[in-house]
Amino acid sequence: MRRRAATYGLLTCEPAGGGGPAGARCETGQMDERGSAPSRVVLVEGVSDASALQTLAARTGRDLAAGGVLVLPMGGATNIGHFVDRYGPHGLALPLAGLCDAGERGDFSRALERAGLGADLERRGFFVCVADLEDELIRALGVAGVEQVIAAEGEIRRYRTFLKQPAQQGRASAHQLRRFIGTRSGAKERYGRALSEALDLSRVPRPLDQLLSWML
């Protein structure tokens, strides 16, 4: 049985005695399962991104907790400035990396530049999905592969009903799949994990592959 990698939850960290990252303190119940504070932070837009990243890390033998890596969903790209301020050079001074959608590249670049890290995302370990994470995974798996995952999740009948909706007529299959994945609360996280489990590891989308290599 494959061992599930330990992961961090959302943290609220404060510098202990002004000691910087070496003195970072995380409140009880907000550390990893080993009771350790993180040494690096990976900022992602939402829980689906975190779910996919953690799943692929486990599948490729990367132990995020052992590497001190905190994968932190921000609740939307517009929050990037707050998180860079909190965890970056003017906060806990932890090394940062991350993942963003193409449409949010500007927000991320400006936040890094304001923090004195420069606007070159990839140089700083921030990698950009062509459209979004779901788009990357759908292209890597192919439409048929994603439909197999939907069937394995027990939702093929709901998917076929969804395809009959007038709003879906004439749309590309990949677009329909992205819309379906986002139609219910919690579905994006669920499918972020399921699609990443089904993915051929030789076809990991470049942004995810690059970020995994950067982290560990």
* pLDDT surpasses 70 at 215: yes
Percentage of residues in the chain having pLDDT higher than 70:
83
* pLDDT surpasses 80 at 25: no
Q: What is the pLDDT of residue 184?
A: 82
Q: What is the pLDDT of residue 35?
A: 54
Q: Where are the domains of the chain?
A: 13-131+203-215, 134-191
Q: Give the pLDDT band (50/70/90) at residue 101.
A: very high
Stated as kind and residue range, the H or E segment containing 1 is none
13-131+203-215 has which CATH code?
A: 3.40.50
The number of C-alpha atoms within 13 Å of 197 and in the hemisphere containing its C-beta is 14
Q: Please indicate, yes or no, whether the overall pTM of this predicted structure exceeds 0.85.
A: no
Angle between helix 206-215 and 47-59 (nearest 10): 70
CB-based contacts of 82, cutoff 8 Å, min separation 6: 74
